[in-house]
Amino acid sequence: MELDDLLKQPGEWLKGSGPYSNIVMSSRIRLARNLEKAAFPNRATRKALVEILETVMAAIRTIDYFKSSTLFKVHELDNIDKQFLIERHLMSHEHANSVEGKGLIVSAEEVLSVMVNEEDHLRIQVLQSGLNLQETWNIIDTIDSKLSGKLKFAFLPGWGYLTACPTNTGTAMRGSVMLHLPALVMTKQITKVLNAIAKLSFATRGFYGEGTQSKGNFYQISNQVSLGHSEEDIIHNINGLIKQVVDQEEQARQALVVQNKAMLEDKIFRSLGVLINARIISSQETIELLSMVRLGVDLDIVKDIDRKTINELFIMIQPAHLQKLEGKKLSSAARDTKRASLIRERLGGSHV
- Mean pLDDT, the chain, integer: 93
C-alpha to C-alpha distance for 315 and 318, rounded to whole angstroms: 6
pLDDT, residue 350, reads 43
pLDDT at 337 exceeding the cut of 60: yes
Query: Three-class SS of residue 230?
Result: coil
Local structure of residue 127 (DSSP, 8 states): E
Rg for the chain (alpha carbons), in Å? 21
Confidence of residue 12 (pLDDT cuts 50, 70, 90): confident
Q: For domain 3-253, give the CATH number.
A: 3.30.590.10
Going through 152-214 in order, the beta strands assigned E by DSSP cover: 155-156, 160-161, 173-180, 202-205
Each domain of the chain, given as residue ranges in start order, spans 3-253, 261-347
Q: Which residue has the higher pLDDT, 61 or 348?
A: 61
Residue type (1 letter), 47: K
Q: Which of the four pLDDT bands, split at 50, 70 and 90, describes residue 290?
A: very high
| pTM for the whole structure | 0.92
Residues in the chain: 352
Let me know: does 55 contact 147? Beta carbons within 8 Å.
no
Residue 253 · residue 295 · CB < 8 Å = yes
- pLDDT tens-digit readout, 22-32: 999 999 999 99
